[in-house]
């Protein structure tokens, strides 16, 4: 939620900077991965789910770097925005699921990490399929 607000404020008051464009997504990734590591620690998420998310993030970031070297800009895809939204909501639900009064935390946890996995894999595959031309120019 704060991510939407700070972006909107930056655009409204012409405060968008290259530093902000770089750091904002990086901060989002660090927040998500930190939360996921916590959920691995408390047994609500398997470590391999975090590995899949990390692999997708590195893969898409690497793809963007290759594209930039070729003068190609890869715009953010809706599937990536949906992935981020689903992930943030799922992590919020998992925070609530850690409370002692919460019924069936393991069931809710599985649903949450399956949703995270599905949206992560879908958006990652979409980025690579839509931008396969970046690899054709690498050789």
Please list the pLDDT of the chain residue by residue as tens digits (139 residues).
Answer: 556 667 777 788 887 777 776 677 788 889 999 999 999 999 999 999 999 999 999 999 899 889 988 888 888 889 999 999 999 999 999 999 999 999 999 999 999 999 999 999 999 999 999 999 888 877 6
CA distance 61 to 34: 18
Percentage with pLDDT > 90 across the chain: 60
CB 82 within 8 A of CB 123: yes
Condensed to tens digits (0 to 9), the pLDDT of residues 42-66 reads 999 999 999 999 999 999 989 988 9
DSSP states of 80-114 as a string? HHHHHHHHHHHHHHHHHHTSTT-S-HHHHHHHHHH
Condensed to tens digits (0 to 9), the pLDDT of residues 30-46 reads 999 999 999 999 999 99
pLDDT of residue 85: 92
């Amino acid at each position: 939620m704060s991510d939407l607000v700070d972006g909107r404020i930056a655009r409204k008051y012409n405060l968008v900077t290259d530093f902000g464009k770089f750091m904002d997504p990086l901060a989002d990734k660090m927040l998500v991965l930190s939360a996921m590591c916590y959920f691995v620690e408390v047994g609500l998420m398997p470590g391999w789910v975090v590995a899949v998310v990390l692999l997708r993030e590195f893969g898409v970031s690497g793809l963007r770097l290759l594209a930039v070297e070729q003068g190609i800009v890869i715009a953010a895809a809706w599937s990536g925005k949906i992935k981020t939204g689903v992930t943030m909501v799922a992590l919020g639900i998992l925070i609530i699921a850690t409370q002692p009064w919460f019924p069936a935390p393991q069931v809710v946890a599985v649903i949450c990490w399956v949703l995270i996995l599905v949206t992560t894999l879908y958006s990652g595959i979409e980025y690579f399929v839509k931008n396969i031309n970046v690899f054709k120019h690498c050789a």
